[in-house]
Each structure stands twice: as C-alpha cells, then as structure tokens.
Structure 1
Amino acid sequence: MTERIPFTRSSRDGPAFRTVHHPAIPRPRPSAENLLRVQRIRWNEDLLVVAAAGEIDLATAGRLEQALRGHLPAATVLDLSEVGFLGVAGLRVIESAAARARTERRTTSVVADSRPVLRLLQLFGTETQIPVYRRLDHAILEVPNQ
C-alpha cells in the first residue's frame, strides 16, 4: 500500500510529493484444515484409500499421520494426486506408515502425479521402498488379493 505525503519543500509548480511505502501487513496463515483435506475411503474390507488434497508440510503433516493411525486393513493406498506440495515432514509420515505396514505384513502404496510430489519421492529414494503409481485405478488393480 502506498500513501502520498506532501514534501515540506515547495517548488514553483506547487508542493512536491513523495511516495512512502508501508510494509505489507502480514495475513494470518490459513489453518491446517484449510491447507490440507484428508479423507479415509473404505474401498472394500481389505483396502483403505486415504485421499489428501492441498499441501503437506510441517504444519499439516499431523493431519495425514492421524488418518494413517489405528487399525488399518491389509492394503492402504495413499492418494496424493490432489497434493500440490509435499514437504519432508509429510514424506516422513508416509515412510513411517509404510514401515509400520511392513512390520504388520500389510501393503502401502502411493498415488502421485504432480512434479513437486514425485520429485521429493525420487530425491529421497522413497519410490524404491513404496510402490508409486500415477493413477488411483492402477494402484487399486495392483493391490494383492488377500
């Protein structure tokens, strides 16, 4: 926002003006609920789809972690196709859930198609530990039959 203030010195054409810049007033950050939506969809008795939409970062990773807690079926597909940003905190939640699934003899897979999400999964080598698919229907077809 700019404000014009008359300069104290005058010229023959009238008072001179200068522009004063005020620092922008910081806006409050949206709540975690507004930054990330997480939905648990029970596909069948052996498959749970956890769909996330928004940004997964340090502020919102807890919401994803909460959705991946408790008693889970034989297979879990984490659908990140609507996620525009995945931070390291979110990646740690995904890796932790997959490690827990392995110890409990369950499967976990990820669906992602946005460049920022795929890039982070690739940089940390997560796609070598957890199957990553570009489409949800492909992930569901690959779920082992129990």
Structure 2
Amino acid sequence: MPAQPRVRQDGEGRLRLHVSRPAKGTAVVKVSGEVDLGTAPRLWQMLSERLHGHGAKLIVNLSELDFFGVAGFRVLERAQLLADERGTLLFIHPGECRSARRMLDLYDGDGLRTL
C-alpha cells in the first residue's frame, strides 16, 4: 500500500512541499510557492531527508513555483552532490516556472538532470 503523501508548509505560507511515492524506490517532491533565501533551508531539509532514505530515484517537481531564486538553485546543486554520494538518481522538472528554467538553462556544469 503506498504511503500517504505529506504536505509541509513554511510558517508564512510562501513555500509548500508535497511528497509522494508513485513507485517503490521513487519519491517525488512537488515544490510550490517561492524558493528564496528565506525558504531555501526548508527545501534543503526536505531533499536531504529524502536523499538520506533508501530510495533509488528522487524527482523534484518545480512546475508549480511562482519564484525560484539563486538560493534554491544552490540547494539543487548541494542535493545533486549528496545524491551522487548516496547513489541516488536526482531529476529536476522545472515545468513552466520561468525563473527555474532560466537558471537551469544558464547552468553549464555537469550533474543536474532535468526532465
């Protein structure tokens, strides 16, 4: 039986995180609202928890974001390093979030995988 999805929201309601497990070994973190300097630590905490679990694949869905700042991008870079260390596949789905797409398009390093 699949685990119940969990929704977490920061104190000001600017960041909402929803975790689901569509298949064994796969977690999807849907991020909505805003990822900025104030909310990025909460995103890191969620991704870190998932990456320290036993899943083989983590998908970060940014398609419902209103804003994605540099602090959020740094969280994704850090998450990718941890995923590589743990042997977990990390995929980023920017969807139509223009700020996330722009940052990912400008990124010329190796490692971040987009869907």
**TM-score of the alignment, normalized to the shorter chain, above 0.5:** yes
1:69 paired with 2:48, answer yes
User: After the TM superposition, which segments of 4 or more aligned residues of structure 1 sit over 4 Å from their partners?
Assistant: none
Q: Which has the higher contact order (CA 8 A, sep 6+)?
A: 2
2:28 matched to 1:46? Answer: no
**Residue 95, structure 1, aligned to residue 77, structure 2:** yes
How far, CA to CA, are the matches of 1:63 and 1:118 in structure 2? 21
Q: How many residues are paired up?
A: 102
Look up the SS of the partner of 1:34 in the other structure.
coil
Aligned residue for 1:121?
104
Separation of aligned partners in 2, 1:32 and 1:82: 19
Where 1:121 maps in the other structure, the secondary structure is helix
TM-score, length of structure 2 as denominator length:
0.80
- Higher CA-based Rg: 1
So what's the TM-score if we normalise by structure 1? 0.64
Unaligned runs of 5+ in 1: 1-30, 134-146
CA RMSD of aligned residues (A): 1.6
Structure 2 unmatched runs, 5+? 1-9
Sequence identity of aligned pairs in percent?
34
- Aligned counterparts of 1:117 and 1:32: Cα–Cα separation in 2: 23
TM-aligned CA distance change 1:75 to 1:115, over 3 Å: same
